[in-house]
Amino acid sequence: MKVVVISSFLLCLSVLIWKSETSSINYLEQSQLTESIKRGQIVYNNFCMRCHLPDGSGVAGVYPPIANSNWLSEKRTESIKAVKYGLKGEIEVNAKVYNNMMSPMGLSDQEVVDVMNYIMNNFENKQKKPVTLSEVQDIKK
Amino acid sequence: MKLFLSFCFAFSLLACAQEDTSITVIENDYEYEVITDQVNMPWGFDFFDDGRIIITDKSGEVYLYDDENTTKLSGFPEVYNRGQGGLLDVKIHPDYPKNPWIYFTYASIEGKAKGGHTAFARAQLTGSQLIDFEVLYKASPNTTKGVHFGSRIEFDHQGYVYISIGERGERDVNPQDISRDGGKIYRFHADGRIPNDNPFVNEDNAKKAIYSYGHRNPQGMEIHPKTGKIWVHEHGPRGGDEINIIKKAANYGWPVVTYGINYSGTTITDETQKPGMTQPIHYWVPSIAPSGMTFVDSNKYPHLNQNLLVGSLKFMYLEHLVLADNQVVKREKILDKIGRVRSVEQSPDGFIYVGVEGVGLVKILPKS
């Protein structure tokens, strides 16, 4: 419970900070993002959490971290692609090499949007630009 | 010893249960040969007596390997390929070709509710076609949750066939309730009929195919070559993967008793045992994420003979469990770092084959 309270507080806080920084995003987009993040948390807990863990820290050398991840912040398209189609082979995350395989999760495009928005706005990640449905739809194998 | 073990257990929980200190790496690891790399996610496989191998890929494809070629078979229906769900295990009837059926488990959308649940079916092979596809059992209700479909298939020496189905992410609803599917081992006749001596056939509302319950997500099942007993392993949560010997009507305790904790680190229960709940013969802390299992009954690998092999998805090796009187006395990594080990079987001529995600099907080469 405590974790939920704290993480919702952090979530609100990060959304507030984020909002104050991005005047170009209107209120409607803002509330859509909040809803997307909320749905994304359910997707994360159901499909990602067992390997990447509830705090996104992953397992050193086995499952790369999502928390504070340079891969996520620097490789937006590859990140979406990995969630949409799976990922295989060597990647470097936070200066550590991972060589594993993540099978395709079979998520709908909307679920990919939601879980991306969730992880990009949690676990110490701050992504200003929300992931949109058309962005996910445009990413091909 | 017990005190020491509980101390180790408590300590390993404190240490976030990630470091596995009770396993050794084999000296002079086995070499292997890639038999086919055309199967990306070799979930299950089985051998025909003529040497051909039938292989399932999680994506929904069935393959036939015949020494030269790996051919895609037609005739398998669409599977629910989501999260851990997809095409799962395959098993050829032990009396093949006298009994011409090949058995499959897979995640299926059949049924009213949205989502999927595990199905059990059989079909026959002719050329590169699967024909006469017949669903023998479909668990319900469907759910869009992506976890815990199971599943493995095994025959016993009496001709019964057993399948496992995971609890579909509903641990507080399914595993302890015999009127619901999921978190169970099921037993059937080879034609799909429910045996009239199954343990719950006379219980109102029970799913009559259930043979044992209180399971989480069993992805390994194998008959012991000497005793004929059915051995099953299952994924625990964070810690608490288990090996169990299946007994009729037994309750294996999930989630009332467990050696694991929640992924978040919080406690599920303080109880690891209770009267009326069967203890595992072995449990893993930390979890190795076990998938696939075989007993080695082959003089081609003297070091492994009469022991158990279990794949580790998480740590990407094959685990060699040395057995003595149905107890695990030593654990050893082989094929270290090969990749996510999904399936392992011994061929009729005594070779060990291993299905590795992203690698394909490999054969362990005996040491000369």
Which residues in A lie closer than 8 A to residue B316 (C-beta atoms)? Answer: 62, 100
Indicate the residue of B147, B263, B358 with minimum beta-carbon distance to A88: B358
Contact flag B82-A105 (C-beta cutoff 8 Å) = yes
Residue B340 lies in a domain: no
Domain count, chain B: 1
- Judge whether A120 and B97 are in contact, CB under 8 Å: no
pLDDT of residue B15: 41
> Strand B24-25 vs strand B327-334: parallel, antiparallel, or unpaired?
parallel
Domains of chain A: 2-138 (1.10.760.10)
Contact flag B85-A106 (C-beta cutoff 8 Å) = yes
Residue B199 lies in a domain: yes
Which residue ranges of chain B lie beneath pLDDT 50? 1, 4-5, 7-17
- Judge whether B167 and B217 are in contact, CB under 8 Å: yes
Q: How far apart are CA B194 and CA B191, in angstroms?
A: 9
Residue B213 lies in a domain: yes
Nearest CA in chain B to A51: B314
Nearest CA in chain B to A87: B358
- What domain range is B55 assigned to? 2-295
pLDDT of residue B11: 44
Given a cut of 90, whether residue A90 has pLDDT beyond it is yes
Residue B323 lies in a domain: no
| B18 vs A: CB within 8 A | yes
Q: How far apart are CA B70 and CA B67, in angstroms?
A: 8
Q: How far apart are CA B324 and CA B196, in angstroms?
A: 35
B148 is a catalytic site residue: yes
- For the record, the structure tokens of B292 come out as 């696939």
Contact flag B83-A47 (C-beta cutoff 8 Å) = yes
pLDDT of residue A128: 82
Select from B84, B168, B171, B356 the residue whose CB has the most chain A CBs within 10 Å, as the one to mutate to test that interface.
Answer: B84
Contact flag A46-B85 (C-beta cutoff 8 Å) = no
Residue B330 lies in a domain: no
Q: pLDDT tens digit string along A11-52?
A: 555 655 555 555 556 777 888 999 999 999 999 999 999 999
Residue B324 lies in a domain: no
pLDDT of residue B128: 96
Contact flag A106-B147 (C-beta cutoff 8 Å) = no
Q: For position B241, which CATH number holds?
A: 2.120.10.30
Which class for B262: exposed (0-12), middle (13-18), buried (19 or more C-beta within 10 A)? exposed
Residue B315 lies in a domain: no
- Judge whether B361 and B353 are in contact, CB under 8 Å: yes
- For the record, the structure tokens of B48 come out as 């025909």
Calculate the dihedral angle through the C-alpha atoms of B264, B268, B273, B278, rounding to the nearest 10 degrees: -90
Q: How far apart are CA A132 and CA A139, in angstroms?
A: 11
Q: How far apart are CA B116 and CA B13, in angstroms?
A: 34
Q: How far apart are CA B80 and CA B133, in angstroms?
A: 17
Three-state DSSP at B282 gives strand
- Give the minimum alpha-carbon distance from A103 to chain B in angstroms, rounded to a whole number: 8
Calculate the dihedral angle through the C-alpha atoms of B13, B16, B22, B23, rounding to the nearest 10 degrees: 150
Residue A40, amino acid: G
ipTM of the complex: 0.83
pLDDT of residue B148: 98
pLDDT of residue B57: 98
Given a cut of 80, whether residue A10 has pLDDT beyond it is no
Q: pLDDT tens digit string along B14-32?
A: 444 457 888 999 999 999 9
Nearest CA in chain A to B314: A62
Q: How far apart are CA B335 and CA B288, in angstroms?
A: 15
Q: How far apart are CA B193 and CA B59, in angstroms?
A: 29
Residue B145 lies in a domain: yes
Which of B117, B148, B282, B320 is labelled catalytic?
B148
Residues whose CB is less than 8 angstroms from the CB of residue B178 and which lie 6 or more positions away in sequence, other chains included: B184, B200, B203, B206, B207, B210, B213
pLDDT of residue B361: 98
Three-state DSSP at B319 gives strand
